[in-house]
Amino acid sequence: MPEPTVQRGLEDVVALESSLCFIDGRGGRLIYRGYDIRDLAANATFEEVAYLLWYGQLPNRGQLDELRQRLVMLRTLPPELLTILDRLPTTSSPMDVLRTAVSALALLEPTESQPGVTSIGGALRLTAALPSILGYYHRRRSGQPAPPTHPELSHAAYVLAVLRNGPIAPLDEKAMDVALTLHADHELNASTFAARVTASTLSDLYSAITSAIGTLKGPLHGGANERVMELLEEIQLPERTEEVVKAKLARHERIMGFGHRVYKVEDPRATILRDWSHRVGEEKGNLSYYDRLRRVEEVVHREKGLYPNVDLYSGSVYTLLDIPKDLFTPVFAVSRVTGWTAHVLEEYQDLRLIRPTSNYVGPTDLTYVPIDARP
Ligand code: SDX
Protein backbone atom coordinates (compact mmCIF):
# COMPACT_ATOMS: atom_id res chain seq x y z
CA MET A 1 0.00 0.00 0.00
CA PRO A 2 1.73 3.26 -1.11
CA GLU A 3 2.27 5.86 1.61
CA PRO A 4 -0.59 8.42 1.44
CA THR A 5 0.66 11.78 0.13
CA VAL A 6 0.31 14.60 2.64
CA GLN A 7 -1.25 17.76 1.16
CA ARG A 8 0.05 20.40 3.62
CA GLY A 9 -2.64 22.98 4.20
CA LEU A 10 -5.00 20.73 2.23
CA GLU A 11 -3.71 22.54 -0.88
CA ASP A 12 -5.76 21.57 -3.97
CA VAL A 13 -7.74 19.01 -1.94
CA VAL A 14 -11.38 18.94 -3.06
CA ALA A 15 -13.24 18.39 0.22
CA LEU A 16 -16.87 18.67 -0.86
CA GLU A 17 -19.33 19.86 -3.50
CA SER A 18 -21.02 23.23 -3.14
CA SER A 19 -23.28 25.38 -5.29
CA LEU A 20 -22.45 28.58 -3.45
CA CYS A 21 -19.21 29.93 -4.87
CA PHE A 22 -16.83 29.18 -7.73
CA ILE A 23 -13.29 30.54 -7.92
CA ASP A 24 -11.50 30.28 -11.26
CA GLY A 25 -7.97 30.64 -9.88
CA ARG A 26 -6.26 30.64 -13.26
CA GLY A 27 -8.80 32.84 -14.99
CA GLY A 28 -9.20 35.22 -12.06
CA ARG A 29 -12.97 34.88 -11.86
CA LEU A 30 -15.23 34.74 -8.79
CA ILE A 31 -18.85 33.60 -9.04
CA TYR A 32 -21.59 33.56 -6.36
CA ARG A 33 -24.42 31.15 -7.25
CA GLY A 34 -23.74 31.64 -10.98
CA TYR A 35 -23.30 35.42 -10.99
CA ASP A 36 -19.92 37.03 -11.73
CA ILE A 37 -18.69 39.15 -8.82
CA ARG A 38 -18.09 42.04 -11.20
CA ASP A 39 -21.79 42.14 -12.12
CA LEU A 40 -22.86 41.83 -8.50
CA ALA A 41 -20.43 44.53 -7.29
CA ALA A 42 -21.57 46.91 -10.02
CA ASN A 43 -25.33 46.28 -9.84
CA ALA A 44 -26.48 44.45 -6.69
CA THR A 45 -26.80 45.64 -3.12
CA PHE A 46 -25.28 43.62 -0.32
CA GLU A 47 -28.77 42.63 0.83
CA GLU A 48 -29.46 41.16 -2.63
CA VAL A 49 -26.19 39.22 -2.45
CA ALA A 50 -27.01 37.90 1.03
CA TYR A 51 -30.41 36.74 -0.26
CA LEU A 52 -28.72 35.11 -3.27
CA LEU A 53 -26.29 33.18 -1.05
CA TRP A 54 -28.98 32.02 1.36
CA TYR A 55 -31.82 31.25 -1.07
CA GLY A 56 -29.94 30.43 -4.29
CA GLN A 57 -31.56 33.14 -6.41
CA LEU A 58 -31.70 36.92 -6.56
CA PRO A 59 -34.75 38.37 -4.73
CA ASN A 60 -37.63 40.17 -6.40
CA ARG A 61 -38.62 43.58 -5.04
CA GLY A 62 -41.01 42.17 -2.45
CA GLN A 63 -38.54 39.55 -1.21
CA LEU A 64 -35.80 42.18 -0.94
CA ASP A 65 -38.02 44.60 0.98
CA GLU A 66 -38.99 41.82 3.40
CA LEU A 67 -35.34 40.84 3.90
CA ARG A 68 -34.40 44.45 4.58
CA GLN A 69 -37.20 44.84 7.13
CA ARG A 70 -36.18 41.63 8.94
CA LEU A 71 -32.53 42.73 9.07
CA VAL A 72 -33.50 46.15 10.44
CA MET A 73 -35.68 44.58 13.14
CA LEU A 74 -32.82 42.29 14.14
CA ARG A 75 -30.29 45.12 14.62
CA THR A 76 -31.48 45.49 18.23
CA LEU A 77 -29.37 43.65 20.80
CA PRO A 78 -30.72 42.09 24.02
CA PRO A 79 -29.90 44.15 27.15
CA GLU A 80 -28.16 41.12 28.69
CA LEU A 81 -25.66 41.17 25.79
CA LEU A 82 -25.05 44.88 26.27
CA THR A 83 -24.30 44.15 29.93
CA ILE A 84 -21.72 41.57 28.86
CA LEU A 85 -20.19 43.97 26.31
CA ASP A 86 -20.01 46.62 29.04
CA ARG A 87 -17.91 44.25 31.16
CA LEU A 88 -15.27 43.65 28.46
CA PRO A 89 -12.02 45.63 28.69
CA THR A 90 -12.09 48.55 26.23
CA THR A 91 -8.67 47.35 25.05
CA SER A 92 -10.16 44.06 23.81
CA SER A 93 -9.51 43.03 20.20
CA PRO A 94 -12.74 43.80 18.29
CA MET A 95 -12.50 40.34 16.68
CA ASP A 96 -12.45 38.80 20.18
CA VAL A 97 -15.45 40.95 21.07
CA LEU A 98 -17.35 39.65 18.03
CA ARG A 99 -16.42 36.06 18.86
CA THR A 100 -17.48 36.48 22.49
CA ALA A 101 -20.72 38.24 21.62
CA VAL A 102 -21.80 35.52 19.15
CA SER A 103 -21.15 32.89 21.80
CA ALA A 104 -23.16 34.86 24.36
CA LEU A 105 -26.00 35.50 21.91
CA ALA A 106 -26.39 31.74 21.48
CA LEU A 107 -27.04 31.44 25.21
CA LEU A 108 -29.41 34.40 25.30
CA GLU A 109 -31.39 33.41 22.20
CA PRO A 110 -31.29 29.58 22.16
CA THR A 111 -34.05 29.18 19.54
CA GLU A 112 -31.82 29.75 16.52
CA SER A 113 -28.75 28.13 17.97
CA GLN A 114 -30.08 24.58 18.10
CA PRO A 115 -27.93 21.97 16.29
CA GLY A 116 -28.94 21.39 12.70
CA VAL A 117 -31.39 24.29 12.61
CA THR A 118 -31.82 24.80 8.90
CA SER A 119 -33.88 27.97 9.22
CA ILE A 120 -32.60 31.25 7.89
CA GLY A 121 -33.39 32.88 11.23
CA GLY A 122 -29.94 32.48 12.75
CA ALA A 123 -28.25 33.72 9.57
CA LEU A 124 -30.43 36.83 9.55
CA ARG A 125 -29.93 37.42 13.25
CA LEU A 126 -26.14 37.23 13.06
CA THR A 127 -25.93 39.29 9.87
CA ALA A 128 -27.99 42.05 11.48
CA ALA A 129 -26.38 41.81 14.91
CA LEU A 130 -22.68 41.84 14.00
CA PRO A 131 -22.58 45.53 12.98
CA SER A 132 -24.67 46.38 16.08
CA ILE A 133 -22.22 44.52 18.33
CA LEU A 134 -19.22 46.15 16.68
CA GLY A 135 -20.81 49.60 16.78
CA TYR A 136 -21.86 49.29 20.41
CA TYR A 137 -18.40 48.17 21.49
CA HIS A 138 -16.56 50.76 19.40
CA ARG A 139 -18.68 53.64 20.66
CA ARG A 140 -18.34 52.48 24.25
CA ARG A 141 -14.50 52.33 24.00
CA SER A 142 -14.59 55.81 22.39
CA GLY A 143 -16.78 57.19 25.18
CA GLN A 144 -19.75 57.71 22.87
CA PRO A 145 -23.38 56.73 23.42
CA ALA A 146 -24.76 53.50 21.96
CA PRO A 147 -25.70 53.89 18.28
CA PRO A 148 -29.39 53.83 17.27
CA THR A 149 -30.56 51.08 14.90
CA HIS A 150 -31.10 53.57 12.06
CA PRO A 151 -34.10 51.76 10.48
CA GLU A 152 -33.94 54.12 7.52
CA LEU A 153 -30.44 53.02 6.51
CA SER A 154 -29.33 50.23 4.18
CA HIS A 155 -27.02 47.60 5.65
CA ALA A 156 -23.92 49.26 4.19
CA ALA A 157 -24.96 52.69 5.45
CA TYR A 158 -25.75 51.20 8.88
CA VAL A 159 -22.23 49.71 9.08
CA LEU A 160 -20.79 53.17 8.37
CA ALA A 161 -23.20 54.90 10.77
CA VAL A 162 -22.29 52.70 13.75
CA LEU A 163 -18.53 52.78 13.13
CA ARG A 164 -17.95 56.47 12.47
CA ASN A 165 -19.60 59.81 12.87
CA GLY A 166 -20.74 62.30 10.28
CA PRO A 167 -22.90 62.29 7.18
CA ILE A 168 -22.87 59.32 4.82
CA ALA A 169 -22.26 60.46 1.26
CA PRO A 170 -23.80 58.27 -1.48
CA LEU A 171 -20.31 57.38 -2.74
CA ASP A 172 -19.30 56.26 0.77
CA GLU A 173 -22.39 54.05 1.03
CA LYS A 174 -21.77 52.53 -2.41
CA ALA A 175 -18.09 51.92 -1.61
CA MET A 176 -19.01 50.09 1.60
CA ASP A 177 -21.78 48.17 -0.15
CA VAL A 178 -19.33 46.99 -2.84
CA ALA A 179 -16.77 46.01 -0.19
CA LEU A 180 -19.41 43.99 1.69
CA THR A 181 -20.43 42.24 -1.54
CA LEU A 182 -16.81 41.43 -2.41
CA HIS A 183 -16.14 39.87 1.01
CA ALA A 184 -19.39 37.92 1.34
CA ASP A 185 -18.19 34.50 0.26
CA HIS A 186 -15.09 32.79 -1.09
CA GLU A 187 -15.55 29.01 -1.34
CA LEU A 188 -13.62 26.96 1.24
CA ASN A 189 -11.35 29.64 2.67
CA ALA A 190 -10.00 28.82 6.13
CA SER A 191 -12.78 30.48 8.16
CA THR A 192 -15.58 29.05 6.02
CA PHE A 193 -13.95 25.64 6.23
CA ALA A 194 -13.80 26.01 10.02
CA ALA A 195 -17.51 26.79 10.05
CA ARG A 196 -18.28 23.75 7.89
CA VAL A 197 -16.12 21.45 10.00
CA THR A 198 -18.04 22.59 13.08
CA ALA A 199 -21.41 22.22 11.37
CA SER A 200 -20.46 18.78 10.00
CA THR A 201 -20.48 17.43 13.57
CA LEU A 202 -24.11 18.64 13.81
CA SER A 203 -23.03 21.34 16.19
CA ASP A 204 -25.09 24.54 16.10
CA LEU A 205 -24.86 27.55 13.79
CA TYR A 206 -23.58 29.92 16.48
CA SER A 207 -20.75 27.54 17.40
CA ALA A 208 -19.85 27.32 13.70
CA ILE A 209 -19.75 31.11 13.35
CA THR A 210 -17.70 31.38 16.55
CA SER A 211 -15.17 28.97 14.97
CA ALA A 212 -15.15 31.07 11.81
CA ILE A 213 -14.56 34.38 13.59
CA GLY A 214 -11.62 32.93 15.51
CA THR A 215 -10.17 31.66 12.24
CA LEU A 216 -10.68 34.85 10.24
CA LYS A 217 -8.73 36.82 12.86
CA GLY A 218 -5.40 35.38 11.72
CA PRO A 219 -3.08 37.72 9.72
CA LEU A 220 -2.64 35.10 6.98
CA HIS A 221 -6.39 35.30 6.40
CA GLY A 222 -8.69 38.13 7.42
CA GLY A 223 -6.15 40.03 9.47
CA ALA A 224 -4.03 40.97 6.44
CA ASN A 225 -5.99 44.12 5.59
CA GLU A 226 -4.97 45.80 8.84
CA ARG A 227 -1.34 44.86 8.30
CA VAL A 228 -1.32 46.33 4.82
CA MET A 229 -2.02 49.72 6.37
CA GLU A 230 0.76 49.12 8.92
CA LEU A 231 3.09 48.48 5.97
CA LEU A 232 2.11 51.85 4.47
CA GLU A 233 2.73 53.50 7.83
CA GLU A 234 6.20 51.90 7.86
CA ILE A 235 6.92 53.02 4.28
CA GLN A 236 5.68 56.55 4.99
CA LEU A 237 6.92 58.14 1.74
CA PRO A 238 6.36 56.62 -1.74
CA GLU A 239 10.06 56.96 -2.51
CA ARG A 240 10.85 54.58 0.39
CA THR A 241 8.65 51.80 -1.04
CA GLU A 242 11.37 49.94 -2.91
CA GLU A 243 13.78 49.99 0.04
CA VAL A 244 11.24 48.85 2.67
CA VAL A 245 9.59 46.13 0.55
CA LYS A 246 12.85 44.68 -0.73
CA ALA A 247 14.27 44.57 2.79
CA LYS A 248 11.21 42.63 3.96
CA LEU A 249 11.46 40.21 1.08
CA ALA A 250 15.15 39.75 1.79
CA ARG A 251 14.17 38.73 5.31
CA HIS A 252 11.65 36.28 3.80
CA GLU A 253 8.80 38.24 5.35
CA ARG A 254 5.33 38.04 3.80
CA ILE A 255 4.03 41.23 2.22
CA MET A 256 0.44 41.40 3.40
CA GLY A 257 -2.20 41.76 0.69
CA PHE A 258 -0.27 39.64 -1.81
CA GLY A 259 -0.46 36.03 -2.87
CA HIS A 260 -3.32 33.60 -2.65
CA ARG A 261 -3.73 29.86 -2.30
CA VAL A 262 -6.15 29.66 -5.23
CA TYR A 263 -5.65 32.69 -7.48
CA LYS A 264 -2.64 32.36 -9.78
CA VAL A 265 -3.45 35.74 -11.31
CA GLU A 266 -4.91 38.94 -9.85
CA ASP A 267 -7.75 38.43 -7.39
CA PRO A 268 -10.75 40.00 -9.16
CA ARG A 269 -11.78 41.60 -5.89
CA ALA A 270 -8.44 43.41 -5.75
CA THR A 271 -9.13 44.82 -9.21
CA ILE A 272 -12.45 46.26 -8.09
CA LEU A 273 -11.14 47.53 -4.74
CA ARG A 274 -8.16 49.19 -6.46
CA ASP A 275 -10.66 51.13 -8.56
CA TRP A 276 -12.68 52.09 -5.47
CA SER A 277 -9.54 53.12 -3.60
CA HIS A 278 -8.89 55.55 -6.44
CA ARG A 279 -12.50 56.72 -6.76
CA VAL A 280 -12.97 57.38 -3.05
CA GLY A 281 -9.45 58.83 -2.76
CA GLU A 282 -10.16 61.23 -5.62
CA GLU A 283 -13.51 62.20 -4.05
CA LYS A 284 -11.83 62.88 -0.71
CA GLY A 285 -8.80 64.57 -2.30
CA ASN A 286 -6.41 61.97 -0.88
CA LEU A 287 -4.73 59.56 -3.29
CA SER A 288 -1.72 58.96 -1.02
CA TYR A 289 -2.85 55.45 -0.05
CA TYR A 290 -3.64 54.50 -3.64
CA ASP A 291 -0.33 55.89 -4.92
CA ARG A 292 1.75 54.06 -2.31
CA LEU A 293 -0.13 50.82 -2.85
CA ARG A 294 0.46 51.01 -6.58
CA ARG A 295 4.18 51.41 -5.86
CA VAL A 296 4.11 48.40 -3.51
CA GLU A 297 2.32 46.38 -6.19
CA GLU A 298 4.98 47.23 -8.76
CA VAL A 299 7.88 46.19 -6.47
CA VAL A 300 6.27 42.96 -5.18
CA HIS A 301 5.25 41.84 -8.66
CA ARG A 302 8.69 42.60 -10.08
CA GLU A 303 10.57 40.95 -7.18
CA LYS A 304 8.29 37.97 -6.40
CA GLY A 305 5.83 37.72 -9.28
CA LEU A 306 2.97 37.94 -6.77
CA TYR A 307 -0.43 39.48 -7.40
CA PRO A 308 -2.58 41.50 -4.99
CA ASN A 309 -5.44 39.81 -3.15
CA VAL A 310 -8.62 41.23 -1.66
CA ASP A 311 -6.76 42.63 1.34
CA LEU A 312 -4.40 44.95 -0.47
CA TYR A 313 -6.79 47.83 -1.20
CA SER A 314 -9.66 47.18 1.21
CA GLY A 315 -7.87 48.90 4.10
CA SER A 316 -7.27 52.05 2.04
CA VAL A 317 -10.98 52.25 1.20
CA TYR A 318 -11.97 51.75 4.85
CA THR A 319 -9.42 54.37 5.96
CA LEU A 320 -10.84 56.87 3.48
CA LEU A 321 -14.28 56.04 4.90
CA ASP A 322 -12.94 56.95 8.38
CA ILE A 323 -13.15 53.43 9.76
CA PRO A 324 -10.49 52.72 12.41
CA LYS A 325 -7.82 50.21 11.37
CA ASP A 326 -8.57 47.61 14.06
CA LEU A 327 -12.13 47.39 12.70
CA PHE A 328 -11.06 46.35 9.18
CA THR A 329 -11.07 42.62 9.91
CA PRO A 330 -14.32 42.88 11.88
CA VAL A 331 -15.88 44.55 8.81
CA PHE A 332 -14.65 41.55 6.82
CA ALA A 333 -16.55 39.35 9.34
CA VAL A 334 -19.65 41.57 9.09
CA SER A 335 -19.77 40.66 5.40
CA ARG A 336 -18.46 37.09 5.50
CA VAL A 337 -21.06 36.00 8.05
CA THR A 338 -23.47 35.74 5.10
CA GLY A 339 -21.17 33.27 3.34
CA TRP A 340 -20.39 31.40 6.53
CA THR A 341 -24.07 30.94 7.36
CA ALA A 342 -24.90 29.94 3.78
CA HIS A 343 -22.20 27.26 3.91
CA VAL A 344 -23.42 25.98 7.29
CA LEU A 345 -26.97 25.70 5.96
CA GLU A 346 -25.65 23.89 2.88
CA GLU A 347 -23.66 21.53 5.12
CA TYR A 348 -26.77 20.73 7.17
CA GLN A 349 -28.66 19.87 3.98
CA ASP A 350 -26.11 17.26 2.87
CA LEU A 351 -24.18 16.53 6.00
CA ARG A 352 -21.03 14.39 6.15
CA LEU A 353 -18.66 14.54 9.11
CA ILE A 354 -15.47 16.29 7.92
CA ARG A 355 -12.60 14.24 9.23
CA PRO A 356 -9.32 13.97 7.26
CA THR A 357 -6.43 11.81 8.47
CA SER A 358 -2.77 12.50 9.14
CA ASN A 359 0.36 10.56 8.25
CA TYR A 360 1.75 9.33 11.60
CA VAL A 361 5.52 9.84 11.72
CA GLY A 362 6.05 9.28 15.46
CA PRO A 363 7.36 6.16 17.25
CA THR A 364 5.26 3.01 17.78
CA ASP A 365 5.45 0.03 20.22
CA LEU A 366 7.23 1.90 23.06
CA THR A 367 7.29 0.13 26.46
CA TYR A 368 5.66 1.93 29.40
CA VAL A 369 8.17 2.78 32.19
CA PRO A 370 6.81 3.50 35.68
CA ILE A 371 7.53 7.07 36.76
CA ASP A 372 9.97 6.13 39.53
CA ALA A 373 12.01 4.13 37.04
CA ARG A 374 12.32 7.06 34.63
CA PRO A 375 15.58 9.11 34.51
C1 SDX B 1 -7.54 36.03 2.37
O2 SDX B 1 -8.50 31.45 1.02
C3 SDX B 1 -9.14 32.49 0.76
O4 SDX B 1 -9.95 32.52 -0.15
C5 SDX B 1 -8.86 33.67 1.67
C6 SDX B 1 -9.49 34.98 1.25
C7 SDX B 1 -11.00 34.95 1.46
O8 SDX B 1 -11.71 35.73 0.78
O9 SDX B 1 -11.45 34.24 2.37
O10 SDX B 1 -9.20 35.24 -0.11
C11 SDX B 1 -8.98 36.13 2.11
O12 SDX B 1 -7.17 35.44 3.34
C13 SDX B 1 -6.57 36.59 1.37
C14 SDX B 1 -5.09 36.35 1.78
C15 SDX B 1 -4.73 37.37 2.87
N16 SDX B 1 -3.39 37.05 3.42
C17 SDX B 1 -2.30 37.76 3.08
O18 SDX B 1 -2.29 38.68 2.27
C19 SDX B 1 -1.05 37.31 3.81
C20 SDX B 1 0.12 37.26 2.83
N21 SDX B 1 -0.12 36.16 1.89
C22 SDX B 1 0.60 34.94 2.16
O23 SDX B 1 0.79 34.63 3.50
C24 SDX B 1 0.15 33.80 1.26
O25 SDX B 1 0.11 34.27 -0.02
C26 SDX B 1 -1.16 33.10 1.56
C27 SDX B 1 -1.25 32.66 2.98
C28 SDX B 1 -2.32 33.98 1.24
C29 SDX B 1 -1.22 31.87 0.67
O30 SDX B 1 -0.15 31.10 1.04
P31 SDX B 1 0.20 29.68 0.38
O32 SDX B 1 -0.76 29.34 -0.70
O33 SDX B 1 0.33 28.71 1.50
O34 SDX B 1 1.57 29.95 -0.33
P35 SDX B 1 2.97 29.70 0.36
O36 SDX B 1 2.97 30.26 1.73
O37 SDX B 1 3.28 28.25 0.18
O38 SDX B 1 3.95 30.58 -0.53
C39 SDX B 1 4.40 30.12 -1.79
C40 SDX B 1 5.61 30.98 -2.12
C41 SDX B 1 6.62 31.04 -0.98
O42 SDX B 1 7.90 31.28 -1.58
P43 SDX B 1 9.09 30.23 -1.31
O44 SDX B 1 9.24 30.21 0.20
O45 SDX B 1 8.55 28.91 -1.85
O46 SDX B 1 10.24 30.82 -2.03
O47 SDX B 1 5.21 32.34 -2.34
C48 SDX B 1 5.81 33.16 -1.33
C49 SDX B 1 6.24 32.25 -0.20
O50 SDX B 1 7.34 32.82 0.48
N51 SDX B 1 4.77 34.08 -0.88
C52 SDX B 1 5.00 35.30 -0.45
C53 SDX B 1 3.73 35.83 -0.16
N54 SDX B 1 2.79 34.92 -0.40
C55 SDX B 1 3.44 33.82 -0.84
N56 SDX B 1 6.14 36.01 -0.30
C57 SDX B 1 6.01 37.28 0.15
N58 SDX B 1 4.80 37.86 0.47
C59 SDX B 1 3.68 37.16 0.31
N60 SDX B 1 2.50 37.76 0.60
Choose the catalytic residue: 24, 221, 275, 301. 221
The residues, ordered by sequence, that sit 6+ positions from 196 with a Cβ below 8 Å of its Cβ are: 16, 188, 208, 343, 344, 347, 354
Residues 148, 42, single domain; the answer is yes
pLDDT at residue 278, rounded to an integer: 98
- In this structure, the residue with its CA closest to atom 23 of ligand 1 is 220
Position 79 pLDDT exceeds 90: yes
Residues 251, 265, single domain; the answer is yes
Number of domains making up the chain: 2
Q: Give tens-digit pLDDT for 230-278.
A: 999 999 988 999 999 999 999 999 999 999 999 999 999 999 999 999 9
DSSP tag of 19: S
322 sits in the region (left: phi over 0; alpha: psi -120 to 50; else beta) called left
Average pLDDT of span 196-219 = 96
pLDDT band at 116, cuts 50/70/90?
low
Residues 59, 116, single domain; the answer is yes
Average pLDDT of span 163-167 = 94
CATH number where 101 lies: 1.10.580.10
pLDDT band at 349, cuts 50/70/90?
very high
Choose the catalytic residue: 260, 267, 278, 343. 260
pLDDT band at 117, cuts 50/70/90?
low
| Torsion angle defined by CA atoms of residues 120, 121, 123 and 124, in that order, rounded to the nearest 10 degrees | 110
Mutation to probe ligand 1, out of 13, 193, 221 (largest number of atoms < 8 A from CB)? 221
Position 114 pLDDT exceeds 70: no
Average pLDDT of span 5-27 = 96
pLDDT at residue 115, rounded to an integer: 64
Choose the catalytic residue: 172, 185, 204, 311. 311
Ligand 1 geometric centre to CA of 6 (Å): 19
pLDDT at residue 187, rounded to an integer: 98
Position 111 pLDDT exceeds 80: no
Q: What percentage of the chain exceeds 90 in pLDDT? A: 95
Residues 93, 242, single domain; the answer is no
The residues, ordered by sequence, that sit 6+ positions from 2 with a Cβ below 8 Å of its Cβ are: none
pLDDT at residue 5, rounded to an integer: 86
Residues 235, 182, single domain; the answer is no
- Establish whether residue 309 lines the binding site of ligand 1, counting it when its CB lies within 6 angstroms of any ligand atom: yes
- Establish whether residue 304 lines the binding site of ligand 1, counting it when its CB lies within 6 angstroms of any ligand atom: yes
pLDDT at residue 197, rounded to an integer: 98
Position 368 pLDDT exceeds 70: yes
- In this structure, the residue with its CA closest to atom 46 of ligand 1 is 252
Residues 63, 193, single domain; the answer is yes
Distance CA 40, CA 49 (A): 7
Residues 292, 161, single domain; the answer is no
Segments forming the whole domain that contains residue 199: 21-219+326-349
Question: CB-side exposure of 373: number of CA atoms within 13 Å?
Answer: 4
Average pLDDT of span 172-191 = 98
- Establish whether residue 150 lines the binding site of ligand 1, counting it when its CB lies within 6 angstroms of any ligand atom: no
Residues 28, 111, single domain; the answer is yes
Q: How many residues does the chain have?
A: 375
**Least confident stretch, 9-18, 104-113, 294-303:** 104-113
